[in-house]
Amino acid sequence: MVQRHTRCIAGYCLVIDKRAKKQTCRFHYPKNVRDVSALKRDEQGTWQFLSGRNDPLLNGHNRVQLQTWRANCDWSAIVDVKALLRYVTKYASKSEKRSQTFGQMFQNLLLQANDDDLPRQAVQRLLITSVNEQDYSAQEVCHLLHSLPLSSEVECGDTAGSEFSLNELPAVVKDGTEITYLKLSVGTNNSKE
């Protein structure tokens, strides 16, 4: 089971490239076929993970997630701290779509309300009605179907004594492609100040 980016659609992925002055796919399809996966810097200097692929239209995916979700779900590894912060900020600030059901309930209650009804009575009716109706996000449905908790508690430990470094190793040219490897070092700083 795989997904392919088989067509580009105006208003979704087709955007005007300001430099080239033509429409291009914002997801950069078709992508180059690659025998091996690699890390490379993009035009902005951000590290990108380029997975090996034998199909220029193959979406990035996680096999287990795709088999579980059985719907459109892209996947890409984030290997740059700035890219991670951009992604988390964008995801966390994305609002849920407004509930059609809640909007319909509110409209129905307004139509049924009398002119002499107190505002408190309208709010009470809305709350009583809303107890019977509930919208579930796709994430909630997936968690409930798999009997996973909807929330959890995380304890953070002190990492002040740990050192993390990401070092760029000398570039290697393989099959005409320059590949840069990164070395992640994790250590402990036991010196006391």
Report pLDDT for 192: 47
Per-residue pLDDT at 161: 65
pLDDT at 193: 44
What is the structure's pLDDT at 162? 66
> Helix (H, G, I), strand (E, B), or coil: what is residue 55?
coil
Q: For residue 59, how far is the Cα from the chain centroid?
A: 14
Virtual torsion, Cα 139, 144, 145, 147, nearest 10 deg: 120
User: What pLDDT is stored for residue 187 in this prediction?
Assistant: 67
Q: Report the 10 Å Cβ neighbour count for 3.
A: 16
Please tell me the predicted confidence (pLDDT) of residue 57. 92
* pLDDT of the chain, 193 residues: tens digit per residue: 677 888 898 888 999 888 888 899 988 899 999 999 888 888 888 888 888 889 999 888 888 888 888 777 778 888 888 888 888 888 877 766 666 576 777 787 778 877 787 878 877 877 777 766 667 777 888 888 999 888 877 777 766 666 767 777 787 887 777 777 777 776 665 544 4
Domain boundaries, the chain: 24-94+162-187, 100-136
Which residue type sits at 31? K
Per-residue pLDDT, 132: 63
